[in-house]
Structure 1
Amino acid sequence: MNEATQLPYFRAAFYCRERKSIPVVRKFTRKALVDWECEERADDVLLCVTELATNALRHGVPPGRGFRVHIYLERMEKAIRIELHDSGDGEVRAADGLPGAEEEGGRGLLLVEALADKWGVGERNPGKIVWCEFTLA
């Protein structure tokens, strides 16, 4: 299910397109933050990685494929960068406004936009990279 790479300030892992991958992504991310002693924004980072992984799972990963999570500690810039790589097509953007109270989805990227210091979408062939960054004190 999970193939992981560990370097001093970089972690990467592959996850299958299945719901049970989401808590494993959170655990993987938390471990990196603890190992790097970067827990000051852990709640924000974990919420955002959960939202990005859920979006990849629901919208970005074609059936039979998976997604990759990359986590970087950029020591010089004092920042954590999270990237989700998927092979799906489609446009990624935050909603223009809040979804209705009865709607189940549509808040994930609004949360990422509110909690992360930066976020964006990069190209990948096939697919895309959705990323977010968190500045550390």
Structure 2
Amino acid sequence: MNTETQPPSPRERFYRRERRSVPAARAFARVVLAEWGMRERADDVLLCVSELATNALLHGVPPGRGFLLRLAPCGDGVRVEVHDSGGGVPAVPQTDVREPGEGGRGLLLVSELADKWGVGERDPGKTVWCEFAGR
């Protein structure tokens, strides 16, 4: 008899283009991670959810649209995906982010905290994702 448990099913939620979507996405992710028993890197995951959701709202979601947050098991960790319908390809800034200013740190944080991250194409738009291995 197979005693292995099935991995949890991916969970997703759609958010409108509004400021309250970022804390709502973070709260949704917190609940999902708790349900899955993924506590070890929850703070890192939640910070990256906030950063990717903020980037989607500021740069990737055209007026009248929204973004999809998807959390999926990935080995013994989790994969976070933010799908939006905007153009452009996000990248870690190549300038000195220690200079005063508000922008440019989000993807830098994601690149430092996540084990992997990237951008995938979708029609229309893109998917920005990051993965966290279990520890």
TM-score computed with the length of structure 1 as normaliser: 0.90
Match of 1:68 in 2: 68
Contact 1:98 1:107 in 2 (8 A): no
AA aligned to 1:22 is V
Match of 2:49 in 1: 49
Name structure 2 gaps, 5 residues minimum: 1-6
Name structure 1 gaps, 5 residues minimum: 1-6
Q: Which moved more, 1:88-97 or 1:119-128?
A: 88-97
The one of 103, 106, 110 equivalent to 1:105 is: 103
Query: Which secondary structure state, in structure 2, belongs to the residue aligned with residue 130 of structure 1?
Result: strand
1:111-135 Cα distance to aligned partner (Å, 9 max, x none): 0000000000000000000000000
Contact 1:118 1:133 in 2 (8 A): yes
Contact 1:9 1:36 in 2 (8 A): no
Q: Which has the higher strand share?
A: 1
Match of 1:120 in 2: 118
Identity %: 57
Match of 1:22 in 2: 22
1:62-115 Cα distance to aligned partner (Å, 9 max, x none): 0000000000012xx212000000000012111114324321111000000000
Deviation of the 1:8 alpha carbon? 3.3
